[in-house]
Structure 1
């Protein structure tokens, strides 16, 4: 289930990353298109406003017409008409966009044009033609320089856009990696917590042995496991002798410490595969040993009796010994015997009772 959830989240993250990359690609395409349109528009502006050659050429042609009129003294030509053409074209040109540097040059020519209209002088008209031609060359040169500057800026803008897109892609990948790491970390954390809670759910908090709930699960499976594998299986019950009197004498804190000490020894001893140790409740413990025979079991129980006694935990109120001891009742399930778990438990409990009746600190199989 967790794998499906993680796979689903991973798919969503990949989908998110693909979506971001597609959006960035589309944005890049749109931006590039807009920049190209801007370039074309700027070209029109430069060749339309920065290079108003038509107006200046009309002015130059009009001055030439005026010179011809003066030189040939033609009756049909009109200097005033040419002046109006010059004024109209000059006003259009003069009102157009000019840089600060251009404006200075244009202003000086503007004064000369006004002076040229005061009297009819072919020499002045010739000088004005030269100045207008100068303006034409000046405008063309200036426009070229401006366009080169624009193209440089245009390339810088494209590079900047490219770098920004690369940065956004890297940033998107970083977010993706961070989110993936966070989810994996969270998933690992949840896995650890689940394992922890699972362990805690089957573990007795005081002794750290398996608890009664987990005992019921394992114990009920004894007939099925034993029959399937043709194993003899031992169920053992341990009870600390005169534990109530121990608590009354030494207090419950010392009683808890004794429970932990006994539990630790049982856990250390029964630590092989298919060996399970439980706290059944109070001072009572249990063990299930799969694939064991009576000889091995008897040697184990003898050893356990000695190990607990050798702990040398003082127990003055015990009638069995000066130190803490345990009584043991055990039963072996024979494969195919079809004894129920309930009956098996009662048989072990009866054997435990026999050990107590016979003086304690001993076992009965």
Structure 2
């Protein structure tokens, strides 16, 4: 259930991130389009028209007025002057038509209409000059001062329009910068807000993940501890806390094979409390359980090496496996166990060998070979235990042969 909630939160996070990116992309696209439109207006509405207007003034000065001055100084013929005037007027009409083709704002139409009227008036004037030049009867002389006044007038008129276009360009540029700054601030604002939301939600999610992970680790540790306790319980005798018969079978087989590989002695002892049935009959089963626990405590205290394994095999019978030792020390260890149990001085009036609780021990110490079966050692230890009981109990019978 918690996993599903976590997946839902991650999904919401992805949706928010995707939505935020979509909004940012849309805002960016709209603002870029606005900037592009303004750039188009700035370029096509101001820069190119300026070129066309400047070309018109140059045509008046360089083509029309210059041609008339050259004609008046007889540098060109009548036909050449008339042709140049015609070509100049055509070029001016083309440039003006191209200028008018661009988008015009309502507030600049007055400037445009006035300039157009001046161009038309000047076109009429140059047409009359052309007629005068080509006319065989020149009753009216051509006034160059009038020509200069007309060219100066159209020049001033066009330059007023150019000044207006320059002012419009600066205005458009200011609007462009303002829109750009606004767009940049909007992008930054939305980006900061979305990042803050994402980081806040991510922090909560990951804090929840960390909490759940900590809980999972605690649960895992608890489960491992319980598994260890369960495993120990499955291998431990509940009364004496010694290893039980099940774990004995595991350890016996493992250590037997290890001794077989290493060539070191394998030691196994069987221990039985003397006349334990009589002890229960005399003192009761609860006291008998206490006696078993006392014997088990002695085994634990005496066998403290890592390779020493005490077991309760059943009833009053115990087993001992010793590793990494020799036969002499193993026999001495068996005798020490017997003495420590006798030194407990637990009263046993029903015993026929002593008034104190005692044990009989049968052991075997041998280097296993492939020809020796595992059960052979158990049988030999049991035989030696029987021999210890037959010899009078409260003693250790230890052999190094099967």
TM-score (norm 2): 0.55
Could you say if the C-alpha distance between residues 228 and 153 of structure 1 is closer, same or farther in structure 2, counting changes exceeding 3 Å? closer
Question: Contact 1:17–1:176 (CA<8 Å) still a contact in 2?
Answer: no
1:26 to 11, 14, 18: 18
Partner of 1:214: 247
Could you say if the C-alpha distance between residues 191 and 16 of structure 1 is closer, same or farther in structure 2, counting changes exceeding 3 Å? farther
Could you say if the C-alpha distance between residues 175 and 307 of structure 1 is closer, same or farther in structure 2, counting changes exceeding 3 Å? same
2: CA distance between counterparts of 1:27 and 1:178?
Answer: 28
Gap runs ≥5 in structure 2? 32-184
Partner of 1:260: 293
Compute the displacement of 1:166 (Å): 2.3
Count of paired positions: 249
1: CA distance between counterparts of 2:292 and 2:22?
Answer: 76
1: CA distance between counterparts of 2:306 and 2:366?
Answer: 18
Query: SS in structure 1 opposite 2:297?
Result: helix
Question: Contact 1:222–1:341 (CA<8 Å) still a contact in 2?
Answer: no
Compute the displacement of 1:319 (Å): 1.1
Deviations 1:12-69 (A, max 9, x none): 9999887665444213324556888999xxxxxxxxxxxxxxxxxxxxxxxxxxxxxx
1:358 aligns with 2:391: yes
2: CA distance between counterparts of 1:327 and 1:219?
Answer: 21
Could you say if the C-alpha distance between residues 38 and 318 of structure 1 is closer, same or farther in structure 2, counting changes exceeding 3 Å? farther
Partner of 1:185: 218
2:206 to 169, 173, 187: 173
Partner of 1:269: 302
1:319 aligns with 2:311: no
Question: Contact 2:24–2:187 (CA<8 Å) still a contact in 1?
Answer: no
Query: SS in structure 1 opposite 2:377?
Result: helix
Partner of 2:85: none
2: CA distance between counterparts of 1:36 and 1:222?
Answer: 77
Aligned pairs for 1:141-290 (under 5 A) are: 161-290=194-323
Compute the displacement of 1:203 (Å): 1.1
Provide the aligned C-alpha RMSD in A.
3.6
Question: Contact 2:6–2:205 (CA<8 Å) still a contact in 1?
Answer: no
Question: Contact 1:17–1:172 (CA<8 Å) still a contact in 2?
Answer: yes
Compute the displacement of 1:260 (Å): 0.9
Could you say if the C-alpha distance between residues 166 and 350 of structure 1 is closer, same or farther in structure 2, counting changes exceeding 3 Å? same
Gap runs ≥5 in structure 1? 1-9, 40-151
Partner of 2:154: none
Aligned pairs for 1:123-134 (under 5 A) are: none
Could you say if the C-alpha distance between residues 16 and 241 of structure 1 is closer, same or farther in structure 2, counting changes exceeding 3 Å? farther
